[in-house]
Structure 1
Amino acid sequence: MVLSKVIAESFRQARAQLTGNKLRTFLSLLGISIGIFCIIGVLSAVQSLQDNVSGSLAKLGDDVVYIDKWPWKDNSDDWWEYFQRPYPDHDDYEALRDNLATGKLVNYWTVPDTRVIKYQGKAVEGGYLFVTTYELDRLFNIEVDRGRYWSATEYRNGTDRILLGYSIAEQLFGPIDPIGREVKMGGRKYQVIGTLAPAGDDLINPLDFDDAIMVTYNNAARFINLKNRNQYGGTIGVKAKEGVEIQRLEDDIQGILRSARQLRPRETDNFALNKLSMTADALGSFFGVLNLIGLVIGGFSIIVGAISVANIMFVSVKERTSLIGVKKALGARQYIILLEFLTESVILCIIGGMIGLAMVVGITSIINMFLPAFQISLSLFYAITGVVISAIVGVLAGLIPALLAARMDPVEAMRS
C-alpha cells in the first residue's frame, strides 16, 4: 500500500518535471536517449549484420575444407611465400578423389575469364566462365531453376551442354524459355540444359552464380589449356563423410597432397587448407570491435545523461525542501523519501531510454527501406536491455539527491 503511494507520487512528480520545464528536461534526457540509441542501435545493427553474414557463409558448409593457394587468414606478412605457390589443379583433384577415404565429395573449379555469349544476334557481355567438375551440385546444393544439371554421360564425354546463371539467362532470353536453345560462346555452339536459381539478396553471397556461364571441366579442356596451373589454377572443395571430424579430414588431405606434389619431409606445405571456422573467427573479432565502439560511444553519452538527470533531481530536491520537511514532520520515514526520489529518477531515465528505443526503431525502419539486402531488426532482448540500462542509470543518477532529501532535518527543511 505504501509502495503504491510512493510510486504514484513519483509518477506525479516526474510528470511535473516533464511539463514544468520542458526544455531543461528534454536536454537532460537527451544524453540518456542518445546513449541508449548508440548502444542498442549498434548492438542491433551488428547482430543483424552478423546473422546476415554468418547465414551467407554457412552456405559454404562447416564440414567442407577448401584447398587454395592463399589462406583465408591475414597473409600480409607471408605474401611472397604464398604468391610463389602453385594453384590447385585437376591433378590435385584426381589425387584426392582417388585416395581420400574420409572425403564424401571432392570438387574442383576454376574461373578462367569472362566471356561473351550470344543467341540469335543478341549478345551478353560480362558473364564469367565457370569450369567445374561433376560434383558441384552436391557440394553446394546448387538449385536449378529451370531444366536440369549435367548427366554423368554428358560430363564424361565433355559434350557441349551449358548451364546459365539467372542474370545471364534473363538478359539473353528474357521471357523466352532458354531450355534446349542453342547459344554461341567463343565460336562454339552450346545447348542450354539448365538455368540456376537467383542468388538472393544476402549482403555477402559467396555462392553468387547469377552471372555464371557453367561448363564441365572435360568440355573446357578442349579449348583451354587448363593444365597451366599458374594461369588457370582454381580451388578444390572437399566435403567430409558423415562422422568424420574436420581435423582428421585436413590431416588426410595434407598427406595426400604432399605426396602428390612430391614435397620432402622438411619442406612446408605449398597449399592452404581453409575452412569456414577461420572466417567465423575473424568476423567474430571484427564484430566484437564494432560492439565495443558502440558501447564506448553510448557509455559516454549515458554518463553525460546521468549527470544531467542528477542535476534535475538536485533541483527537484531544492524546490521541494519545505514539502520534504512537512512529510518528515508528519511521520514519513527516510526510506519513503528515498524511494520517492529514486523512483522519480528511474521514471525519468526510462522515459529517456524509451525515446532512444523509438529512435532506433525509426532509423532502422528507414535503413531497411533503402537497403533490402541488409535488414536490421530490434529484438525483444535488446529492447528490454535498453529499459534495464535506463533504470540502472536512473538509480545511479538519483541516489545522491535521494539520500540528501531523506537525511534532511524536518525543522530545517520547513524553515528553508
Structure 2
Amino acid sequence: MKVIKLIWESLRFASQALRSNLTRTILSLLGVTVGIFSIIAVFTLVDSLEKNIKSSLSFLGNNVMSIDKFSFSGGGEDYPWWKYFRRPNNSFIEYTFLRDNLRNADATTIFADANTTVQFGSNSFSGTNLKGVVSTYKDVYDVPLGSGRFFTELEITGARNVAIIGAKIANTLFPNQEPVGKEMKIRGQKFFVIGIFEEEGEGLFDIPSKDEACMIPYGAFSKIYNVGRYGMGPSIAMKGKDDDTGLIALENEVTGLLRARRGLKPTQEDNFSLNKSEFIMNTIGSIFDVISGAGWVIGGFSILVGGFGIANIMFVSVKERTNIIGIQKSLGAKNYFILYQFLFEAMFLSLIGGVTGIILVYLITFIPLGSLVLTLSFKNIILGLGVSSLIGIVSGIVPAVLAARLDPVEAIRST
C-alpha cells in the first residue's frame, strides 16, 4: 500500500508541476524529447537498413562457405588481384571429390553464373542473372518458389532444357499469362519454364535479386557456356554443420582436401580462397555499430540538456513545496518517503518527454522511403523508456536528497 500511495503522490505532484508552469515544463522536457527522438530514430533507421541489406544478401546463404579465386576480405591498393586472377578455376571433378569426401559439411554444391538475355516471342529481358546449378543447390541455399517446382534429379543429370525464372522476368516475358509450362529462349536454345521464384521486390541497393534471375541445370548451362575455361569459373559452396562455430572444422578439412587434390606442396601457399557468408554479415554489423555509436553521441548531448531541465524543475518544485514537506515530516513521513516521492516525480516527468520522442519516431515510420521500410521495434521502445527513466532518476537524485534532509521545523516556517 505504501508503494501505491507513493506512486500516486508522485503522479499527483508531477501533474501539478506540469500545470503550474506549462511553458517552463515543456521547454525543460524538450531536451529529453529531442534526445530520445534522436537516439531511437537513429537506432530504428540502422535496424531497418541492416535488415534490408541482410535480406538483400540472403543469396549468400547462412552458415555457408564458398571456394573462389578471390577473397571477400580483399580491397585497397595492396590487394594482389593479379595473383588471384592467375589461380586455377574450380572444376566439376573437384566438386564431386569434395562432395564425396567432406565430413564436416551438411551439403556441397557447384554453380556457375552469367549475364544474358531471355526471350519469348517479341518480348525479351536483358541483364538476366543466369545460374547453372546441380540438385544439391537447394540444400545449401534457399530457393523460395512462388509457383511450380525445383529440378528433378533426372533433369539435372540429363542436362534437360528446363528453367526457373524470377517474377520480374515472368511478368515481362509472359504478361497476363501463366509462365509455368511455357517455352522461352536462352541464347537461341528453347527452355521450358517449370517454376517461378517467390517475388522479392526492389532492393535498397543494386544487389542481384531473384526477380531478375533464371536458373537452369548445370549441364544445360555447360552446353551454352564453356564453363571454367575463361573468366571466373564455377563456384563450389558448402553448408557447414550447426555445431561448427565459425566453420573452423570445415575450413580446415576443405583446405587439406583441396590442397591434396591440386597437388600443392607444404611450402606452397593456397591457390584458392575460402569465403564465409558470416564475414560480410559481420562487416555490415560493424559498420552499423559505428553508426549506432554516433546516434548515442548525437542524442546524448540533447538528453544531457534535458536532464538539466528536469533537475531545474525539481529544484523549483522542492522550493515551492518546502512547507508541505515540513508538514509531511511532522506527521511522521520518513526521509525515504520524501526521497522516493521526488525521484518518482522526476522519473515520470522524464518519461513524458521520452514517450513523446518515441511517438514522434513512430510517426516517421509512416513516411514512405521507397524500398526502405522503417520499423520501430519493441527493443527500441524499451530502450527509449529505460533511458528516459534513468535520466529522470539521475536528474532528480540531488533535489530529492535535499528535500529528504530538510528539517521539519525550518521547512514549516518557510514561506
Structure-to-structure mapping, 1:190-339, within 5 angstroms: 190-199=191-200, 208-229=209-230, 231-240=231-240, 246-325=247-326, 333-339=334-340
Q: Is 1:29 the counterpart of 2:29 in the alignment?
A: yes
CA spacing shift, 1:325–1:175, aligned 2, 3 Å:
same
Per the alignment, residue 92 of structure 2 pairs with 90
TM-score using structure 2 length: 0.84
CA spacing shift, 1:390–1:244, aligned 2, 3 Å:
closer
Q: Contact 2:44/2:376 (CA < 8 Å) preserved in 1?
A: yes
The CA deviation string for residues 87-122 of structure 1, in whole angstroms up to 9 with x for no partner, is 43434324424544554533222222222x222222
The CA deviation string for residues 309-332 of structure 1, in whole angstroms up to 9 with x for no partner, is 111122223334455455556665
Structure-to-structure mapping, 1:1-400, within 5 angstroms: 6-47=6-47, 49-50=49-50, 60-76=60-76, 77-80=78-81, 81-100=83-102, 102-115=104-117, 117-199=118-200, 208-229=209-230, 231-240=231-240, 246-325=247-326, 333-364=334-365, 366-367=366-367, 370=369, 374-379=373-378, 381-400=379-398
Paired residue secondary structure (1:227) = coil
Paired residue secondary structure (1:236) = strand
CA spacing shift, 1:7–1:359, aligned 2, 3 Å:
same
**Amino acid of the structure 2 residue aligned with 1:135:** T
Q: Contact 1:164/1:213 (CA < 8 Å) preserved in 2?
A: yes
Q: Contact 1:66/1:274 (CA < 8 Å) preserved in 2?
A: yes
- What is the percent sequence identity of the aligned residues? 36
**Amino acid of the structure 1 residue aligned with 2:392:** G
Distance in 2 of aligned mates of 1:244 and 1:75: 28
Distance in 1 of aligned mates of 2:287 and 2:334: 52
Q: Contact 1:203/1:374 (CA < 8 Å) preserved in 2?
A: no
The CA deviation string for residues 228-284 of structure 1, in whole angstroms up to 9 with x for no partner, is 24x142321123579888433322321232233332221211211122333343334
Distance in 2 of aligned mates of 1:359 and 1:353: 10
TM-score using structure 1 length: 0.83
Distance in 1 of aligned mates of 2:14 and 2:240: 63
Per the alignment, residue 404 of structure 1 pairs with 402
Question: Where does structure 2 lack aligned partners over 5 or more consecutive residues?
Answer: none
Distance in 1 of aligned mates of 2:14 and 2:106: 67
**Amino acid of the structure 2 residue aligned with 1:36:** I
**Amino acid of the structure 2 residue aligned with 1:239:** K
**Amino acid of the structure 2 residue aligned with 1:355:** T
Q: How much does 1:60 deviate?
A: 4.6
Distance in 2 of aligned mates of 1:244 and 1:329: 68
Aligned-pair Cα RMSD in Å: 3.4
Q: How much does 1:173 deviate?
A: 0.7
Q: How many residues align?
A: 411
Distance in 2 of aligned mates of 1:314 and 1:241: 61
Q: How much does 1:204 deviate?
A: 8.2
**Amino acid of the structure 2 residue aligned with 1:123:** S
Paired residue secondary structure (1:213) = strand
Q: Contact 2:119/2:186 (CA < 8 Å) preserved in 1?
A: yes
Distance in 2 of aligned mates of 1:3 and 1:184: 76
Q: Contact 1:342/1:394 (CA < 8 Å) preserved in 2?
A: yes
